[in-house]
Structure 1
Amino acid sequence: MTRSTKKDPRDETDTSLIERFRSSDHPAVSLGRDLVWVALVVGGIALLLFLVFGTWPAVVTIESGSMLPEMQIGDLVFVAAPDRFGSLVTAEEGAGIGHTSFGHPGDVIIFRPNGNEQVHPIIHRAIIWIDSDTAASELGLENTDGGIITKGDNNPVIDQVTIHPGLGRIEPVRDEWIIGKAVFRIPLIGYLPLNIWKFAAVVVAIIIIQELIASRRRRSEER
């Protein structure tokens, strides 16, 4: 005796909804389909960057001139985990072994000043590792575990003698504050993330206009 099988009505409903979403000519559905496609592409690119570079965010935009001339305002910089593609190297170490990054010895790192996640990360060059005693005796920084001294290539002084608005004196950078190290840059492309909401609005507007034009054309053909 064979057992009859019944299809779950919900499966047919789900399949029907998916098929209608894929094939519908309704402007709102077409717009939704395009937006889903854009989201999938962007998400796929973000996942790929994370898998390759091992950190998030995997790209940052240069917003100041502190790293001139090697990094210009508006450059898009790709960021890798500190231990990806080799260990992190300071300028002091780089001068001894011939390791350079963006035109000078040592790696350029992206870090959260004083470990604060509420302020914008800083992208500056790692200069030298110091311990807590050196930080206290040479910089006057008490109650610190030491870390990396950093400096913008275009700045006259190291970060650790400057005051960050809302944070006070910038401390030597601890390992857990480091987001990653700069790998390479693409000139000017960073202006896109800086104006992402304006760009997104333009893209959505273009999609809507295209769908309206296509819808009117279909209606004219049907007539």
Structure 2
Amino acid sequence: MPRESKTVPCKSCGGRFKPTGIGPHRKSCLKNIHRTGEDLAFVQILHNADGLSRSTDHSDTTGPSGPGNSNPSHDLDEFWVAQVADERPMSIDNDAGPHDRALPRPTTDNIDDIQVEYHPNSGKPTKKYLFVEFTRVHAPKPYKPDASTDPWYPFHTHLDFEFADLALEVALSKEQTNRLLKLVQRIHSNKERFTLRDYRDVESSWKAASHCMPAVSQPEERL
């Protein structure tokens, strides 16, 4: 299989890993960091205990120094530092450099920060905003109607608004709205005669034309 060229960074250790291996590494990395913190805390406890023993036994600290008189706390310090270095999480990417295996850097992100990520094809980098700055920039501006304009603005006329309001109320589709507009324009041109005045005219016209329609009968259901 071809080698995966795309890698993703680990937020804890900075190493880069293949997408298929970042999940298991993330769990192991967090466990190692937690264990490293416990080791460093234990070393600090040993330092404090060693300082207390030095204050109670001054003769041991003033004795001759040599290969046989090495400081136990110094040797223990070297042991723990070596253990911590060996347990540092390593990257599974063989091409990762020393920078990719660096220890995690302290973050300055706040809990309410907002991170905006754009689509990769947009070419825009990821941006972070403080919550206060984000709400200040993206807050919707309240609409203030212009007192010098008509109440039906931005419609050109009140009649335009009434037509649009009716089309919205009866949920006309795009095609139905266009058909109705064409009929209104034909009526307005006075080139054709239009006699309908109200719903009764429409209803009576359909009743008069009902004899042209085939009769419809509902069959009786027998049990």
TM-score higher than 0.5 here? no
Structure of larger gyration radius: 2
TM-score interval for Structure 1 and Structure 2 normalised by the shorter chain: under 0.3
Provide the TM-score with structure 1 as the length reference: 0.23
Compute the TM-score of the two structures, normalised by the length of structure 2: 0.23
**Higher RCO structure, 1 or 2 (CA under 8 Å, sep 6+):** 1
